[in-house]
Amino acid sequence: MAEGIKKPETKEEEKKGKEFIVPLRRKFRKTAGYRRAQKAIMAIKEFLARHMRIYDRDLKKIKIDRYLNEFIWKRGIKNPPTKIKIKAVVDGDFIRAELAELTEKLRFRKEKLEKREKEAAAVAPKEKIRELEEPVEVPEKMETRPGVAKSEEEKAEEKEKKAAVIEAGKELEKAAAKKMKRETKVSKQPKRQRRMALAK
C-alpha cells in the first residue's frame, strides 16, 4: 500500500470499492469545446485524489478504467456527460476508477473480451505441452564452431558460394549500369518541331 492512500477497513470494502457521483459540468464548462472530454477525465482524477485521501494529490496514482474512458468519449470530445457515477477500487499502490453501472453495449463488450481471454488462457497451456512433446529434429550437418577445423568439402562449398555471390553481384551491377545508360541518353532532336512564325 502506498503511504498517501488510506487503507480500506475491511476486505469487503476493498473488493467493492466506494461509489461516487462526480459532477463534471462546472469543470468542463469553462474550457474550450475541443478539450472538454480530456477536462472531464482530469476532473474525475482530481475528485478521487481529494475524496480517496491521496495526501500528495498525485494524479498518476489514479487509473481510469477503459470502459469509463469509453463512456466519457462516447458522445465525442465536445459533449461529455455532465455527471457520472463511478466506483473507486484500491488496487495496491493505485486507485482504479471504474464505471459503476455499465451500459448494455459496454457490458456486452466486456463479457465478450473476458470470454476471449478465458479461451486464450485455456488454449495456451495445451500448445506449450504439444511443443514439449514434439521431438526435436537434429540437422545432419551440425554447424561447426569457429575453433573447430573444417573438412575440405566444407571449405570447397564455401568457396563456391562466395564465387556465386560475387558473380551475381557483378551481373546486377551490369544490369543497373545498362539501365542508367538508357535513362541518361538524351536525344539531340526535340520531340516535336517548334512552331515558326509565318513569313508575311
Report the pLDDT value the prediction gives residue 24, as an integer from 0 to 100. Answer: 93
Q: What span, in angstroms and rounded, lies between the C-alpha atoms of 47 and 43?
A: 6
Tell me the three cell numbers of residue 115: 470470454
Task: Delimit the domains of the chain by residue range.
Answer: 11-105
Q: What span, in angstroms and rounded, lies between the C-alpha atoms of 153 and 162?
A: 14
E strand or H helix that includes residue 170: helix 152-184
Which runs of E-coded beta strand occur in 157-196?
Answer: none
Q: Which residues of the chain register pLDDT less than 70? A: 1-15, 126-150, 183-191, 193-194, 199-200
Report percent pLDDT > 90 for the chain. Answer: 34
Write out 102-164 in H/E/C secondary structure: CCHHHHHHHHHHHHHHHHHHHHHHHHHHHHHHCCCCCCCCCCCCCCCCCCHHHHHHHHHHHHH
Report the pLDDT value the prediction gives residue 10, as an integer from 0 to 100. Answer: 62
Report the pLDDT value the prediction gives residue 200, as an integer from 0 to 100. Answer: 61
CATH T-level assignment (fold) for domain 11-105? Ribosomal Protein L31e; Chain: W; (3.10.440)
Task: List the helix and strand counts (H, then E) for the chain.
Answer: 6, 4
19 touches 98 (CB < 8 A): no
Report the pLDDT value the prediction gives residue 48, as an integer from 0 to 100. Answer: 93
Please, is 165 exposed, middle or buried when counting C-beta atoms within 10 Å of its C-beta (0-12, 13-18, 19+)?
Answer: exposed
Report the pLDDT value the prediction gives residue 1, as an integer from 0 to 100. Answer: 43
pTM: predicted TM-score of the whole model, two decimal places: 0.54
